[in-house]
Amino acid sequence: MRGMTEDTYDVIIVGAGPAGLTAAIYARRRLLKTLVLTMDIGGQVVLTENIENYLGYTEKSGPGLAIIFEKQARKYGTEIIIGEVKRIEKESGLFTVHSSAGDFMSRSVIVTGGRMPRRLNVPGEEELIGKGVSTSLTCNLDLTIGKNVAIVGGGNTALQRAEVLSKTAAKVYLIHRRDQFRSDEVTVEKVRSCPNVEFLLNTVVEEMKGRKRLEKIAAKNLCTGECKELDVEMTFIDIGRDIKLDYVKGLVKTNELGRIVVDKACRTSCEGMFAAGDITDFPYAQAIIAAGQGATAILSAYAYLTKGKDQKVCY
């Protein structure tokens, strides 16, 4: 049977979006031995062009806000390791978190895995992610200047991105598999008035091609069956976000939408495991809500770790 060692963490936080990093700041201020295991720093905030409703932050840039989150978390000595959590196991009251960066043990876990941008799952996509294929506009805007680019998607974000890109790129293909957009009319009309945006409706991407970087995409019209190759140097995939929970399968209760069920103290059905942010069954998905839940989750974890001795006053 495994036991605690000096390497055992008090808390491991999965994810470094607003929920995870808020939890980390609170954890470190309570001197908990804390590890943040995450695939990136900032989470969806990095994908956000403008964030104008986060209290106290007036700069607007999503990536700018993520930098502030990280700086504040590191100020209190948060240990952050980049890696993908693959599986979490619980035995004799201790958790083992298996990740691509190694296996780590902890007395409690906070899951803040949020949502991940959906992929098209077409040939060439995986190899070309980060080499011309992207789910983040903000980080790559400079690379679009004077280039032919494509956006795949039909929601508000895809259309807003098309409008932004029309100002930097030479040509923008907006590829959507239906004949109608899931966006408000005002935005659609704005994009229609951009002369360098070409709408490819009822169209799907079948393949992404390129030796070192993206060079072409193969697109098929679903009505006519016609296939054509588009010369593009960047493609932005904007087809929504998914919650991935494989790594806690069987440990926690989820709802019909596949989100982790939490009580108002962010406790899950598994003792010692807490969850916060977009990954939970809370009905709203916003950065400030995720941050608030991150704080709630760590205070609950602290109460759990101290067996409630210190839970009356939580500053």
Which residues are near ligand FAD by CB under 6 A?
14-20, 37-40, 43-45, 47-48, 51, 53-54, 84-85, 112-116, 157, 244, 247, 277-279, 285-288, 290
Q: Measured from the CB of residue 120, what is the shortest distance to ligand FAD in angstroms?
A: 17
Q: Measured from the CB of residue 231, what is the shortest distance to ligand FAD in angstroms?
A: 27
Choose between 210 and 240: whose C-beta lies nearer to ligand FAD.
240
Choose between 163 and 207: whose C-beta lies nearer to ligand FAD.
163
Choose between 194 and 285: whose C-beta lies nearer to ligand FAD.
285
Choose between 80 and 219: whose C-beta lies nearer to ligand FAD.
80
Q: Measured from the CB of residue 111, what is the shortest distance to ligand FAD in angstroms?
A: 9
Query: What is the bridge-based pairing of β-strands 94-99 and 85-91?
Result: antiparallel
Q: Are 29 and 10 in contact (CB under 8 A)?
A: no
Q: Measured from the CB of residue 49, what is the shortest distance to ligand FAD in angstroms?
A: 7
Q: Measured from the CB of residue 236, what is the shortest distance to ligand FAD in angstroms?
A: 11
Q: Measured from the CB of residue 176, what is the shortest distance to ligand FAD in angstroms?
A: 17
Choose between 219 and 297: whose C-beta lies nearer to ligand FAD.
297
Choose between 39 and 314: whose C-beta lies nearer to ligand FAD.
39
Choose between 16 and 35: whose C-beta lies nearer to ligand FAD.
16
Q: Measured from the CB of residue 70, what is the shortest distance to ligand FAD in angstroms?
A: 11
Choose between 26 and 230: whose C-beta lies nearer to ligand FAD.
26
**Residues 6 or more apart from 169 whose CB is under 8 A from it?**
144, 145, 146, 147, 148, 149, 196, 234
Chain-centre distance for alpha carbon 182: 21
Return the closest-CA partner of residue 129 out of 145, 140, 114. 140
